[in-house]
């Protein structure tokens, strides 16, 4: 497998090209909170909602984004007429570039903790959803973007060799927490996870299909339509039987986090606020800035 | 993978054709209890017993069948000269069509509980057997038939694309219990099990081989002879070393059920006697009747 | 998969040819303790140590060998400038033939216990190492040799069809203990492990690659150079992130042994000193002697 160097984390002002996410950490106006980062189209006739991530430039998982995501997902979850959720990106070339680095660089422990809680919440909502969830991965999907994908029931990726997907945290000197790891093991098995996480591997679509990190490759313009067709197949199964089965498969993994959320937050905050880690993040940001410049 | 719609459960009066098991729930005389549902040929010279399932039309796992199966298996287990067991079907086109739906439709909670205990017993006997167990799958093997297959040490299937195998419980609105799931995970891994069980997937022989649900495909008329040859290979290993190793691999999974048998029975009885589930079963039986008609 | 009959255990006087390790149990002078069984070359400039196993004829894992191995590994582990370890063999045709049978045949329970503790120590040191560990498998690697290989982070094997690798304990009537089994499951999954251990399977390089028992095959003369190149890739990852990730993946498996070392030793001593097992070992030694003769 090839290992590519790609940003693990993104910043709001970053730009994306050719499968690389480059960014500049310069301050800029935050998106107005009235401009939604997520657009949801729910088709009452099919029971399927399509969620478009539309937070330029690269759908960074900022605190605002994650909060909006969890609220939107919760709303659909509560709506008994909504049985399926397709998640995709309206941004070119990227599904989601992962956790927003600006939420953990030079921030207070309190802010870091609040941010991490929102990351947990996103995963808990998605991995434990009663809806059928399909990731329509129409661009690169490193780190947090990969987590979001593997938390779904099914993954369809654009067959574009410039895109990549993987949990590449170690490349930046940080570590995927245990529940990222558990979700990965549940998807591709123990050995592949071990090597993928230790090396921070990013896989192109063919490689990702081969190891089972995604389930299907289609041409880029057919990702969402294929997701819609696949959804029909999943919705042919009686909801209650599928939901009980899904819960049986995923509950142990979910319980491990729900019974350790505070500890996990403390662990993250202690780790990320270390001088050495902050220095790493700073150097990384400088590198991104230079690359963009 | 293709998903085919096939009966999960069977009824005694069902007929089978072209990989589909169709059935009519009309009342009919039960097999005389003096007519054995299982025929065992034990070759003292090789130490290998061949068990033929011969309960027309589709080897439904009725209470009587399961009781007879467990008694026959226990007898062989107790006979120290019997080292290997090959399980196959004498019925055309089907290995076993799975649990007998008539044992749980319009039956008392007591009867349902007794039936479920017999299902548990079958699995416990087979998954924990000290003998080398080989499934010679010479026909379709949905649901309970698949469970029986994956409880063996090795699976040889007839290479007939009309046959299928899988845990397709959700297709009927019911749920494979945790020990079906655990046996499946131990065979094909977590991710494949998750998708297979949520969608109630039935695999044709080639697909089943690809995901590791069966170990080998051979022409239909060579299934039992290949099983016999394979058995020789397994019996070349000293029994005590193989048995300790097998127990080490399977004991945790077996212990999970043995320490929760009553709870599991209660859970099943509560589930299956629900009005909504009984209604599902009734509609399913009506569909089978119509299909046959 | 083909099953080959190969020695599980080796004796110091054994010879090796054509992928078979044959041995004679005749008494012979033990290697002088001043003649090291392990040669370590540490390149300060790269931070990589190459460990050559050089205990003729087949790198049997004797008590002396294991003690030397653990001391050498511990030394490198303590040296913060050493970040990577490549393990290979200087003996022709064999990586390591596994545990030295002479350490457990006709020996006191005390000696067997001391020996087993040394086997545990080797695995604990290797599986839990903070260094990047790569097995450069330039010859056959049965039983204990296979354990040593799968305890590393990455496995490169010589593409010579005469070589084989696997946990073949049952072939000799003994049983791979639970931590051999756990390491194997973590490498190739539950089902492959179950069949491999029950049948005591030895895989040729192509088969081993296919099931994931090794990661890469190269021509025999490129095994170590490829290991060196691969090491560079692994060392590009920040040590602390890789080490935390590795520990997260392996700690549960390691903890199972560390919290049960004494019980595991007692279990082994009781098992190996049984008359029936000693008789098996005796017959095995006689067979080796005859084969050599």
Contacts of B252 (CB under 8 A, 6+ apart): none
Partners of chain C (3+ Cβ pairs below 8 A): A, B
- The edge-to-edge listing of strands for the beta sheet with B216-218 is B38-43, B48-53, B84-89, B132-137, B154-158, B216-218
Task: Determine the 3-state secondary structure of B263 from DSSP.
Answer: helix
Q: Which phi and psi angles does B8 have, rounded to 5°? A: -80, -40
Q: Which phi and psi angles does A37 have, rounded to 5°? A: -85, -10
Q: What is the ipTM of this complex?
A: 0.89
What's the pLDDT at B290?
A: 86
pLDDT, tens digit (0-9, with 9 covering 90-100), for C42-59: 999 999 999 999 999 999
Would the pLDDT of C151 be above 70?
Answer: yes
| Contact check, Cβ <8 Å, B153/C198 | yes
Walk me through the domains of chain A, giving residue ranges and CATH numbers.
Answer: 35-274 (3.90.226.10)
- Selecting from A176, A199, A280 the residue whose C-beta is nearest the C-beta of C237 gives A199
Torsional class of C212: left (φ above 0), alpha (ψ -120 to 50), beta (otherwise): left
Asked if B89 contacts B53 with a C-beta cutoff of 8 angstroms, the reply is: yes
pLDDT, tens digit (0-9, with 9 covering 90-100), for B209-232: 999 999 999 999 999 999 999 999
Written as six digits, the tokens of C18 are: 């054509």
Q: Which phi and psi angles does B167 have, rounded to 5°? A: -95, 90
Predicted TM-score of the model (pTM) = 0.90
Of A108, A226, A244, A255, the closest CA to residue A159 belongs to A226
Task: Determine the 3-state secondary structure of C128 from DSSP.
Answer: coil
Average pLDDT over residues B14-28: 36
pLDDT, tens digit (0-9, with 9 covering 90-100), for B121-133: 999 999 999 999 9
Partners of chain B (3+ Cβ pairs below 8 A): A, C
Which residues on C lie below 8 Å from B238 (Cβ)?
170, 173, 280
Torsional class of B59: left (φ above 0), alpha (ψ -120 to 50), beta (otherwise): left
Average pLDDT over residues C227-234: 98
| Contact check, Cβ <8 Å, A189/C185 | no
What's the pLDDT at B35?
A: 82
What's the pLDDT at C29?
A: 40
Q: Which phi and psi angles does A172 have, rounded to 5°? A: -100, 0
Q: What angle do CA C149, C150, C151 make, to 5 degrees?
A: 90
Torsional class of C116: left (φ above 0), alpha (ψ -120 to 50), beta (otherwise): alpha
CA distances from B7 to B56, B100, B156, B167, C113 (A): 16, 11, 22, 11, 56
Interface of B with A in 21-80 (CB under 8 A): none
pLDDT band at A288 (very low <50, low <70, confident <90, very high): confident
What's the pLDDT at B190?
A: 98
CA distance A183 to chain C (A): 13
pLDDT, tens digit (0-9, with 9 covering 90-100), for A137-187: 999 999 999 999 999 999 999 999 999 999 999 998 899 999 999 999 999
Which strand (E) or helix (H) includes residue C52? strand C48-53
Average pLDDT over residues B92-109: 96
| Contact check, Cβ <8 Å, C171/B246 | no
Q: Is residue B191 within 8 angstroms of chain A, CB to CB?
A: yes
Q: Percent of chain C scored above 70 by pLDDT? A: 88
| Contact check, Cβ <8 Å, A234/B193 | no
pLDDT, tens digit (0-9, with 9 covering 90-100), for C235-259: 999 999 999 999 999 999 999 999 9
Which residues on A lie below 8 Å from B191 (Cβ)?
186-189, 212
Q: Which residues of A are catalytic?
A: 99, 144, 168-169
Written as six digits, the tokens of C225 are: 């150079």
Written as six digits, the tokens of B200 are: 């109630």
Would the pLDDT of B157 be above 50?
Answer: yes
Would the pLDDT of B26 be above 70?
Answer: no
Of B48, B47, B44, B43, the closest CA to residue B86 belongs to B48
Average pLDDT over residues C114-125: 98
- Selecting from B170, B191, B198 the residue whose C-beta is nearest the C-beta of A212 gives B191
Q: What angle do CA A179, A185, A190 make, to 5 degrees?
A: 130
Would the pLDDT of A10 be above 60?
Answer: no
What's the pLDDT at A284?
A: 83
Task: Report the 10 Å Cβ neighbour count for B254.
Answer: 17
Would the pLDDT of A292 be above 80?
Answer: no
Partners of chain A (3+ Cβ pairs below 8 A): B, C
Torsional class of B46: left (φ above 0), alpha (ψ -120 to 50), beta (otherwise): alpha
Q: What one-character-per-residue DSSP string does A261-292 give?
A: HHHHHHHHHHHHTSHHHHHHHHHHHHHHHHHH
Cis peptide before C57 (omega within 30 of 0): yes
Residue from B185, B191, B249 whose CB has the most chain C CBs within 10 Å, to mutate:
B249
| Contact check, Cβ <8 Å, B189/A187 | no
Taking the C-alpha atoms of residue C249 and residue B114, their distance in angstroms, rounded to an integer, is 43
pLDDT, tens digit (0-9, with 9 covering 90-100), for A184-242: 999 999 999 999 999 999 999 999 999 999 999 999 999 999 999 999 999 999 999 99
Q: Is residue B96 within 8 angstroms of chain A, CB to CB?
A: no
In SS3 terms, C5-20 reads as CCCCCECCCCEEECCE
Would the pLDDT of A41 be above 50?
Answer: yes
Residue from B174, B198, B275 whose CB has the most chain A CBs within 10 Å, to mutate:
B198
Written as six digits, the tokens of A194 are: 């071990």
Which residues on C lie below 8 Å from A198 (Cβ)?
153, 234, 237, 242, 245-246, 249
| Mean pLDDT of all residues belonging to chain C | 90
pLDDT band at B34 (very low <50, low <70, confident <90, very high): low
| Contact check, Cβ <8 Å, B189/A189 | yes
Per DSSP, what are the bridge partners of residue B50?
B41, B86
| Contact check, Cβ <8 Å, C249/A193 | yes
Taking the C-alpha atoms of residue C218 and residue C222, their distance in angstroms, rounded to an integer, is 6
Would the pLDDT of B112 be above 90?
Answer: yes
Asked if C21 contacts C94 with a C-beta cutoff of 8 angstroms, the reply is: yes
pLDDT band at A289 (very low <50, low <70, confident <90, very high): confident
Per DSSP, what are the bridge partners of residue A40?
A51
Would the pLDDT of C8 be above 60?
Answer: no
Asked if C96 contacts C61 with a C-beta cutoff of 8 angstroms, the reply is: yes
Q: Which phi and psi angles does A75 have, rounded to 5°? A: -60, -50
HSE on the CB side for C268, CA within 13 Å? 26
User: Per mean pLDDT, which of A7-21, A277-291, B253-267 is the most reliable?
Assistant: B253-267
């Amino acid at each position: 497998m090839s290992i590519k160097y790609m940003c693990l984390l993104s910043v709001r002002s970053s730009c994306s090209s050719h499968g690389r996410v480059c960014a500049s950490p310069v301050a800029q106006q935050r998106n107005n909170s009235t401009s939604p980062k997520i657009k949801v189209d729910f088709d009452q006739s099919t029971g399927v909602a399509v969620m478009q991530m539309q937070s330029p430039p690269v759908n960074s998982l900022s605190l605002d984004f994650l909060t909006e995501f969890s609220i939107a997902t919760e709303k659909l979850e509560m709506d008994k007429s909504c049985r399926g959720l397709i998640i995709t990106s309206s941004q070119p070339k990227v599904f989601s570039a992962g956790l927003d680095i600006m939420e953990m660089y030079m921030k207070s422990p309190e802010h870091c903790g609040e941010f991490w809680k929102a990351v947990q919440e996103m995963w808990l909502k998605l991995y434990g959803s009663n809806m059928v969830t399909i990731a329509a991965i129409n661009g690169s999907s490193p780190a947090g973007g990969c987590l979001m994908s593997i938390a779904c029931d099914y993954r369809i990726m654009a067959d574009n060799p410039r895109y990549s997907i993987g949990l590449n945290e170690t490349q930046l000197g940080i570590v995927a927490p245990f529940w990222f790891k558990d979700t990965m093991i549940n998807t591709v098995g123990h050995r592949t996870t071990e090597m993928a996480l230790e090396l921070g591997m990013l896989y192109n679509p063919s490689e990702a299909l081969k190891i089972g990190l995604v389930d299907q490759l289609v041409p880029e313009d057919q990702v969402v339509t294929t997701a819609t067709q696949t959804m029909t197949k999943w919705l042919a199964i009686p909801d209650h039987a599928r939901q009980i089965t899904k819960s049986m498969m995923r509950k142990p993994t979910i319980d491990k986090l729900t019974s350790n959320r505070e500890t996990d937050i403390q662990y993250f905050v202690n780790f990320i606020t270390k001088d050495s880690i902050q220095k790493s993040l700073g150097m990384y940001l400088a590198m991104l800035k230079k690359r963009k410049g």
